[in-house]
């Protein structure tokens, strides 16, 4: 979970769906298609702890959280986190108890390669992930790996980090090792989790490691991530897929951007433009091998203001690597003609599915463009758009993440229509509340119930191909730039206790029922009685 802003805590509960007459809020009683997968997602930095044990090297989050003064509001860190390095067996038991069929976790690059480089492998790191994978499989839970969830090795940051293109080779070596070592048992891979957030917050807003403020670095970060993704996709395709038969994709964070006044064509234009950046900055090149027009326009503007010198185009060679050139006699890849031919689209691009991390919705309206982009509402000012949210939307502990279930369905339909009906895995979806909430986390129950119901409508009514849902997250753990001031877990973790004991909340029971029912088959579903 992540957002572009830093805000103070704010909690307010409001009544959701039940007595609404609005069509989009009508509850659907139905189940997901057979084989639909349910589970949870996590990331290594947030949960593992053991930050300098058993030969692990230092990564950029270790460095960032130990800065003085601390960049984290409660001055906390994840040196211990949820201690999942030692307690992964507890986590697997909880996953099994709730009925998860899949668990997405990320690899700590420096636990496996302490310097980030392939020439020094840490056997203890390999052993840890082998143990986790084997225990998951023994419990009937499919392991799914995220190769990179923001914790770049510090030695690679010292060379310039993601903005430096030499990281591409190091990342490819790491991915190759991971496929080679774990790919006999792991069949679903995420190359990057939310690289859009990683590049923006890490290199512009300073809220994430490495805490820079440099637009040019952010743009080069994005570019090198796209090229890295494509290279690793090709490695899997050529070397591992024939033997291992798995799937590789990327997971992007995307808000749904709703025109503030849907009747106003300028508002609609503004929201649509921003969607093409929000989702398309990474997704479009991975499908088509070039930036979309909206991204090119944005990069052009940034170049004009001398904020970046990054290229607006990929080289022909990079472009070929990113997309698959297997349509005979077709040369016009830059046009968006493909959007009209979904059956053709599916054989293009360096992805087997799309991962979507979705939390909330913004209202969008146009505003005057200004160059004072490094203060405040960065994205909006870049794009000539202003964001807001409807005061009636139920709020969470993060003010700019209100609960807007219908936005999820719109988001899914937008990807389905614009990106050739790809297979979509929901890799993150969850609700932040205050640590004082306790075990009766009613607002989280409502959040998951209503978001999953909108996903059900997208699948059953709209025909969107969503085949997996992993909630964020299982445990209350370190939450990036919020530290321990907000919680996402369906399981309470006592961080004052040396053993970090885990206690399931009401929301764990709710997901347990949704998972086992594969949706909402009948009206006597107990979480529905909560208004
Ligand atoms: C958390 O653990 C501490 C230390 O053992 C204990 O004093 C406290 O009561 C626990 N809190 C909860 C909510 O269980």
Query: What is the distance in A from the centroid of ligand 1 to the CA of 42?
Result: 24
Q: Which of 484, 494, 499, 501 to mutate to test the pocket of ligand 1 (most atoms within 8 A of CB)?
A: 494
Query: What is the distance in A from the centroid of ligand 1 to the CA of 15?
Result: 32
Ligand 1 atom, smallest distance to 503 CA: 14
Cα–Cα–Cα angle for 28, 519, 490, rounded to 5 degrees: 115
Q: Mean pLDDT throughout 201-209?
A: 92
Whole-number Å distance between alpha carbons of 392 and 410: 19
Whole-number Å distance between alpha carbons of 189 and 80: 26
C-alpha dihedral over 277, 281, 287, 291, to 10 degrees?
100
Q: Which of 496, 503, 504, 505 to mutate to test the pocket of ligand 1 (most atoms within 8 A of CB)?
A: 496
Per-residue pLDDT tens for 459-484? 999 999 999 999 999 999 999 999 99
Q: Residue 502 contacts by C-beta under 8 Å, 6 or more apart in sequence? A: 82, 87, 90, 91, 94, 475, 491, 492, 493
- Number of domain units in the chain: 1
Ligand 1 atom, smallest distance to 438 CA: 13
CB 364 within 8 A of CB 256: no
Q: Give domain status of residue 97, yes or no.
A: yes
Whole-number Å distance between alpha carbons of 308 and 79: 35
> Would you state the pLDDT for residue 372?
47
375: pLDDT strictly greater than 60: no
Query: What is the distance in A from the centroid of ligand 1 to the CA of 436?
Result: 13
Residue with CA at minimum distance from ligand 1 atom 2: 497
Q: Is the CB of 436 under 6 A from ligand 1?
A: no
216: CATH: 3.20.20.80
Q: Give domain status of residue 528, yes or no.
A: no
Ligand 1 atom, smallest distance to 494 CA: 1
Q: Give, in order, the Cα–Cα distances in Å from 395 to each of 16, 364, 428, 509.
A: 11, 18, 18, 22
Rg over CA atoms, the chain: 22
12: pLDDT strictly greater than 50: no
Per-residue pLDDT tens for 21-70? 344 568 999 999 999 999 999 999 999 999 999 999 999 999 999 999 99
Lowest mean pLDDT among 53-57, 82-86, 321-325: 321-325
Q: At 146, is the secondary structure helix, strand, or coil?
A: strand
Q: Express as a percent the part of the chain with pLDDT over 90.
A: 78
Whole-number Å distance between alpha carbons of 274 and 51: 38
8: pLDDT strictly greater than 70: no
Name the phi and psi angles at 60, rounded to 5.
-70, -25
Query: What is the distance in A from the centroid of ligand 1 to the CA of 398?
Result: 25
Q: Which residues span the domain enclosing 275? A: 3-361+394-517
Whole-number Å distance between alpha carbons of 491 and 189: 25
Write down the number of H helices and E strands in the chain: 19, 15
Count the Cβ atoms, other than its own, within 10 Å of residue 488. 25
Q: Is the CB of 497 under 6 A from ligand 1?
A: yes
Whole-number Å distance between alpha carbons of 257 and 268: 10
Q: Give domain status of residue 382, yes or no.
A: no
Name the phi and psi angles at 212, rounded to 5.
-90, 170
195: pLDDT strictly greater than 70: yes
Q: Mean pLDDT throughout 368-389?
A: 61
Q: At 249, is the secondary structure helix, strand, or coil?
A: strand
CB 287 within 8 A of CB 352: no
Q: Give domain status of residue 379, yes or no.
A: no
Q: Which residues are catalytic?
A: 194, 428
Question: At 454, is the pLDDT very low, low, confident or very high (cuts 50, 70, 90)?
Answer: very high
Q: Give domain status of residue 46, yes or no.
A: yes
13: pLDDT strictly greater than 50: no
Per-residue pLDDT tens for 152-163? 999 999 999 999
Q: At 172, is the secondary structure helix, strand, or coil?
A: helix
Q: Give domain status of residue 196, yes or no.
A: yes
DSSP letter for each residue of 155-186: HHHTTT-TTSTTHHHHHHHHHHHHHHHHTTT-
- pTM value is 0.91
Q: Give domain status of residue 531, yes or no.
A: no
Task: Please report the sign of the dihedral spanned by the C-alpha atoms of residue 522, residue 524, residue 530, residue 531.
Answer: positive
Whole-number Å distance between alpha carbons of 179 and 57: 21
CB 207 within 8 A of CB 8: no
Q: Give domain status of residue 375, yes or no.
A: no
DSSP at 73: T
Residue with CA at minimum distance from ligand 1 atom 5: 497
Q: Is the CB of 392 under 6 A from ligand 1?
A: no
CB 501 within 8 A of CB 494: yes
Query: What is the distance in A from the centroid of ligand 1 to the CA of 487?
Result: 17
End-to-end CA, the chain: 25
């Amino acid at each position: 979970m992540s957002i572009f802003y830093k805000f103070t805590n704010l909690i307010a509960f409001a009544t959701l769906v039940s007595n609404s007459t609005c069509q989009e809020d009508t509850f659907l009683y139905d189940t997901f298609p057979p084989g639909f997968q349910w589970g949870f997602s996590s990331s290594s930095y947030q949960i593992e702890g053991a930050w300098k044990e058993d030969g692990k090297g230092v990564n950029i989050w270790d460095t960032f959280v130990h800065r003085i003064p601390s960049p984290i509001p409660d001055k906390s860190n994840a040196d211990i986190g949820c201690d999942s390095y030692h307690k992964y067996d507890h986590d697997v038991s909880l996953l099994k108890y709730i009925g998860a069929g899949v668990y997405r976790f990320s690899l700590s690059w420096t636990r496996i390669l302490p310097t980030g480089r392939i020439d020094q492998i840490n056997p203890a790191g390999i052993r840890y992930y082998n143990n986790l994978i084997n225990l998951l499989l023994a419990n009937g839970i499919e392991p799914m790996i995220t190769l990179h969830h923001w914790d770049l090795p510090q030695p690679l940051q010292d060379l310039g980090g993601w903005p430096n293109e030499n990281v591409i080779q190091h990342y490819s070596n790491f991915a190759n090792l991971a496929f080679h070592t774990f790919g006999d048992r792991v069949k679903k891979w995420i190359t990057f989790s939310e690289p859009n957030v990683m590049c923006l917050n890490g290199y512009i807003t300073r809220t994430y490691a490495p805490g820079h403020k440099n637009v040019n670095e952010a743009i080069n970060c994005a570019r090198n991530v796209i090229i890295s993704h494509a290279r690793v996709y090709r490695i899997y395709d050529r070397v591992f897929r024939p033997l291992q038969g798995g799937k590789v994709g990327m997971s992007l964070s995307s808000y749904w951007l709703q025109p503030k006044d849907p009747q106003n064509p300028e508002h609609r234009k503004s929201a649509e433009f921003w969607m093409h950046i929000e989702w398309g900055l990474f997704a479009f090149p991975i499908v088509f091998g070039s930036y979309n027009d909206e991204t090119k326009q944005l990069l052009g503007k940034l170049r004009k203001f001398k904020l970046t010198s990054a290229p607006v185009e990929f080289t022909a060679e990079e472009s070929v690597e990113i997309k698959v050139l297997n349509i005979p006699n077709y040369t016009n890849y830059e046009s968006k003609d493909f959007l009209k031919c979904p059956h053709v689209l599916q054989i293009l691009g360096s992805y087997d599915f799309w991962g979507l991390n979705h939390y909330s919705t913004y209202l969008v309206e146009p505003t005057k463009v200004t160059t004072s982009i490094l203060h405040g509402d960065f994205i909006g000012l870049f794009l000539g758009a202003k964001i807001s949210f409807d005061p009636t939307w139920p709020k969470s502990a993060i003010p700019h993440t209100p609960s807007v279930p219908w936005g999820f369905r719109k988001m899914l339909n937008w990807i389905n229509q614009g990106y050739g009906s790809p297979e979509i895995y929901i890799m993150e979806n969850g609700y932040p509340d205050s640590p004082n909430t306790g075990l009766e986390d009613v607002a989280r129950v409502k959040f998951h119930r209503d978001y999953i119901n909108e996903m059900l409508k997208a699948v059953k009514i709209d025909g969107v191909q969503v085949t997996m849902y992993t909630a964020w997250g299982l445990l209350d753990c370190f939450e990036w730039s919020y530290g321990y001031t907000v919680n996402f877990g369906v399981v309470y973790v006592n961080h004052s206790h040396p053993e970090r004991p885990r206690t399931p909340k009401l929301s764990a029971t709710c997901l347990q029922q949704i998972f086992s029912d594969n949706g909402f088959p009948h009206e006597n579903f107990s979480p529905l009685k909560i208004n």
